[in-house]
Amino acid sequence: MRILRWVLLGLVLLLGWLQYRLWFGTGSAGEVAALRSQVEGQRRENEGLQERNAALAAEVRDLKEGVAAVEERARSELGMIRPGEVFYRVVEDPAQRTTVPPAAEPGTDGPAGEAD
């Protein structure tokens, strides 16, 4: 009977130690949950980066194969024009700029759209 008590005490202590390791030790349930959330965040970030890489690869392919993409870049980023073209720049006079209030709907008085 005395041996049974010691075995039972040993098993209870072992169970307590295993429970402690499960909840608070290395590889515990909380740590596993935190690692899963980190993996999910990294997966989302990787998907975004893969989309960006695909777009950049398509742009590189366009620049290597097509003249239109190179011409578009030269026009927009470098301000280049073809020989014989005339470049016009339209500049508005800041004094003539006025802010126009939003137009009221027909049959209403005021911007709220309520009739009198």
pLDDT digits (tens, 9 = 90+) for 37-66: 999 999 999 999 999 999 999 988 887 887
**In a domain? residue 12:** yes
Beta-carbon contacts of residue 59 (< 8 Å; ≥ 6 apart): 69
Residue 83 has pLDDT above 90, yes or no: no
Tokens standing for residue 30 = 């909380």
Helix runs in the chain, H state only: 2-24, 29-65, 67-78
Q: Is residue 115 within 8 Å of residue 107, measured between CB atoms?
A: yes
**In a domain? residue 50:** yes
**In a domain? residue 42:** yes
Domain containing 15 equals 7-81
Q: How far is CA 61 from CA 64, 65, 94, in A?
A: 5, 6, 42
**In a domain? residue 45:** yes
**In a domain? residue 104:** no
pLDDT at site 53: 97
Predicted model pTM: 0.42
Residue 109 has pLDDT above 70, yes or no: no
Give the separation between CA 105 and CA 113, rounded to whole angstroms. Answer: 7
**In a domain? residue 32:** yes
**In a domain? residue 99:** no
**In a domain? residue 115:** no
* Number of separate domains in the chain: 1
